[in-house]
Amino acid sequence: MSLALSPAVRDLMAGWLTDLGSLRDASDATVDAYARDLTDFLGFQAQHAGEVIAPAALRALTASDMRAWMAAQRTRGVGSRSLARRLSAVKGFYRWWAEREGFDATAILSMRAPKHGRRLPRPLSVEGARDMIETVGQHDARDWVAARDVAILTLLYGCGLRRSEALTLDAGFLPLRDTLRIRGKGGKEREVPVLPAAADAVTRYATLCPHDLSPGTPLFRGIRGGPLNGRLVAKVMESARMQLGLPATATPHALRHSFATHLLNAGGDLRAIQELLGHASLSTTQAYTSVDTARLLEVYAAAHPKA
């Protein structure tokens, strides 16, 4: 499909993906998925037009063009959730492009995604989270590597960090204090408290790490001393969950879900948890947690007491 795109369009796409990864803290997996979605969309529009597509043609797309693409996606068997994600990628590209060059992208940005049921996250139980961290600590004969993996998972579960946030921590944070200032998605900053268990785990790793942890360098390192690849964190958790018999949903991100859910189950305030997670919307936090109906009613009653 790339052959149906003009060099100018390919340059625009590359610019957006670069900004998505560097400025908006999107994961490699997210950038790759958006690249596939946008390439598919642009390829369809080129085929629909019957010619190599240039920026001017993309700026002139109408709601009818968008509906034709969405209908074609449905014909290919794309489900509502996947189509919503693909439309989000297209809108993200056009929003970035319109802001950059100052044109009206209403025809694209006004398109509504198909409705779909929200998939609730599946956090680990308290025991499952603890077992995961303990098991990961036994997966590598090199003490410093095992300590590193434990420190990262403890930050994800104990502080509610995203994997990318933990892996981009600067060694200048050592030794960890009572709070951490985290720069999250969209450059939004937040303060998160650091539990003693998390501080102790990071201190142990830093003590054992054979690489120089000077300020201005990554806190978490790979075997050769470079920045740690996030895929290795997922891999070690995959190995541990298979050993423990946990489901495939027991991923690094599930520890962040677990942090939020366990706090709410313990009586935590939903808005406070929203701040700790760095969510812009309370509805996102509500979907992020998994509590039983009785607990939700208690939270509601506490927030809206009867006169």
The sign one gets for the Cα dihedral 30, 33, 35, 38 is negative
Cα of first residue to Cα of last residue in the chain, in angstroms, is 63
**CATH value at residue 161:** 1.10.443.10
The DSSP code for 222 is -
Q: Kindly state whether residues 201 and 235 are assigned to the same domain.
A: yes
Q: Catalytic residue numbers?
A: 162, 185, 253, 256, 279, 288
As for how many domains the chain has, the answer is 2
Q: Kindly state whether residues 144 and 230 are assigned to the same domain.
A: yes
Residue 1 has pLDDT above 60, yes or no: no
Residue 247 has pLDDT above 70, yes or no: yes
Q: Kindly state whether residues 146 and 209 are assigned to the same domain.
A: yes
CA angle 96/97/99 to nearest 5° reads 65
Domain boundary, last residue among 109, 139, 162? 109
With bands split at pLDDT 50, 70 and 90, how would you rate the model's confidence at 3?
very low
Mean pLDDT of 164-177: 93
Residue owning tokens 């006004």: 110
Classify residue 116: in a domain, yes or no: no
Classify residue 114: in a domain, yes or no: no
CA angle 121/126/132 to nearest 5° reads 85
Residue owning tokens 């434990």: 150
Q: Kindly state whether residues 73 and 174 are assigned to the same domain.
A: no
Predicted TM-score (pTM) of the model is: 0.59
Q: Kindly state whether residues 52 and 169 are assigned to the same domain.
A: no
Between residues 182 and 282, which one has the greater pLDDT? Answer: 182
Tens-digit pLDDT profile for residues 106-148: 989 998 877 655 555 578 888 999 999 999 999 899 999 999 9
Tens-digit pLDDT profile for residues 175-228: 999 998 988 877 788 888 898 999 999 999 999 999 999 999 999 999 999 999
CA angle 34/39/41 to nearest 5° reads 95
Residue 43 has pLDDT above 60, yes or no: yes
CA-to-CA separations, 32 to 28, 29, 122, 239, 266, in angstroms, rounded: 6, 5, 24, 24, 37
Classify residue 275: in a domain, yes or no: no
**What's the domain range around 209?**
126-256
Q: Kindly state whether residues 93 and 202 are assigned to the same domain.
A: no
Residue 306 has pLDDT above 80, yes or no: no
With bands split at pLDDT 50, 70 and 90, how would you rate the model's confidence at 283?
low
